[in-house]
Amino acid sequence: MMNNQTTPTPERTHRLRCGPIQFSRRYAGLLVMLALTLALAACAPTQQPTWAIAIHGGAGTLSQNAPPEQLRAYREALQAAVDHGSQRLARGDSALDVCESVVRMLEDNPLFNAGKGAAFNEKGEHELDASIMHGPTLRCGAVAGLRTVKNPISLARLVMERTPHVLLMGDGAEDFAGAMGVERVPNSYFDTPQRRKMLDERLEELRRSSPRSETSPTDNPRKDLRYSTVGCVALDQRGELVAATSTGGLTAKKFGRVGDSPIIGAGTYADDTAAISCTGTGEEFIRHGVARAVALRMKLKGETLAQATHALIHTTLKPDDGGLIAVDARGNISTPYSSEGMYRAWATSLTPSIVRIFKDQ
């Protein structure tokens, strides 16, 4: 029977013969192998998600002290929307289809200021805005001042796909909706008691403020529920980036006012670098071209997604102006905001979904 303990292997025999010189050669070899392994590990690309999604339901949240059941309703709505989007991306659906259908879900949910549940303008009516952009081709479509289209985001997509234009507004957009056969509803369909109350309170505040004061709908002091625009950004398995945003605008806004949500480059933007959807005081986002500035900072200044988005929200914009969601071509996600909270959720092929309203939970 062979005794492994005592039978010298060829290697051992050799080592025994050569003494300390062979020892050091052997360990040097091991060290080289270890160094090579470490170098290879450092060079190997870190695992990248094959798809990624982020959604928002606006940067004007309920207060942290709101009744838990109210906050729970928002969390559940965000969870359902991000799960729906994730499942579709995981099975290979396009970012374009996913962004449109996630935004439609949020438009149909009266909790959010888009579609059903849209804010009232100063006349007590609803005017809805939306836009969508396909990063790889820079094709985009937008609608503004809609009054009877149940799901503005789908009409925005039709503007992109069925017209040579980017933005249709008012009566022209309504005519186009008729030609496309999209679902129409009476303007009162968008009413909710919660938004009516906000309008009444806001009009009362405006009445009480001095006629010479600079107060405008964008200076709305009631923080909760101020901005509840919805948006979705996604990277699909083909590597395509898409951004979509839909809103009822600001409560008590002037009749005819259009915010950033349907303005490509301000409230929505996507190219081959990043996809961005914004929420907040639209006038500020338009002024600074926020959504496109994120992608440009990455391209021209070499900033990461996090650096670019944080610079825009925390340096370019003023505190409390709002927030944004963004995803880049590597599947990184960023969701900065300067308000008390922002309804948001995200997921990737490598990480399960996360739903957040405030900073720490």
Burial per residue of 148-169, b for 16 or more beta-carbon CB atoms within 10 angstroms, e otherwise: bbbbbbbbbbbbbeeeeebbbb
Tell me: does residue 250 bind ligand ASP (CB under 6 A). Answer: yes
**Residue among 151, 229, 273, 339 that touches ligand ASP (CB under 6 A):** 229
Nearest to 224 by CA among 342, 79, 360, 359: 342
**Annotated active-site positions, please?**
229
**Residue among 141, 145, 249, 265 that touches ligand ASP (CB under 6 A):** 249
Tell me: does residue 341 bind ligand ASP (CB under 6 A). Answer: no
Please give the structure tokens belonging to residue 214: 């600079």
Q: Give Cβ neighbours of residue 31 (< 8 Å, ≥ 6 apart).
A: none
Interacting residues with ligand ASP between 16 and 75 (CB under 6 A): 58
Interacting residues with ligand ASP between 122 and 151 (CB under 6 A): none
Nearest to 236 by CA among 106, 56, 88, 111: 88
Smallest distance from the beta carbon of 227 to ligand ASP, in angstroms? Answer: 3
Tell me: does residue 279 bind ligand ASP (CB under 6 A). Answer: yes
Write out the DSSP string of 152-217: HHHHHHHHHHHSS-SEEEHHHHHHHHHHHT--B--GGGG--HHHHHHHHHHHHHHHHS-TTS---G
**Residue among 135, 141, 145, 282 that touches ligand ASP (CB under 6 A):** 282
Tell me: does residue 339 bind ligand ASP (CB under 6 A). Answer: no
Q: Judged by CB, which is closer to ligand ASP: 145, or 331? A: 145
Nearest to 127 by CA among 216, 257, 281, 227: 257
Tell me: does residue 334 bind ligand ASP (CB under 6 A). Answer: no
Smallest distance from the beta carbon of 260 to ligand ASP, in angstroms? Answer: 5
Q: Judged by CB, which is closer to ligand ASP: 129, or 240? A: 129
Tell me: does residue 268 bind ligand ASP (CB under 6 A). Answer: no
Q: How many C-beta atoms surround the C-beta of residue 35 within 10 A? A: 10
User: Residue 49: helix, strand or coil by DSSP?
Assistant: coil
Give the total of residues touching ligand ASP (CB under 6 A).
16
Tell me: does residue 227 bind ligand ASP (CB under 6 A). Answer: yes
Smallest distance from the beta carbon of 218 to ligand ASP, in angstroms? Answer: 8
Write out the DSSP string of 120-148: PBTTS---EEEEEEETTTTEEEEEEEESS
Smallest distance from the beta carbon of 45 to ligand ASP, in angstroms? Answer: 37
Side chain identity, residue 187: N
- What is d(CA 319, CA 310) in angstroms, rounded to the nearest whole number? 12
Smallest distance from the beta carbon of 356 to ligand ASP, in angstroms? Answer: 17
Q: Judged by CB, which is closer to ligand ASP: 281, or 348? A: 281
What is the contact surface with ligand ASP in residues (CB under 6 A)? 58, 113, 227-229, 247, 249-250, 259-261, 267, 279-280, 282, 322
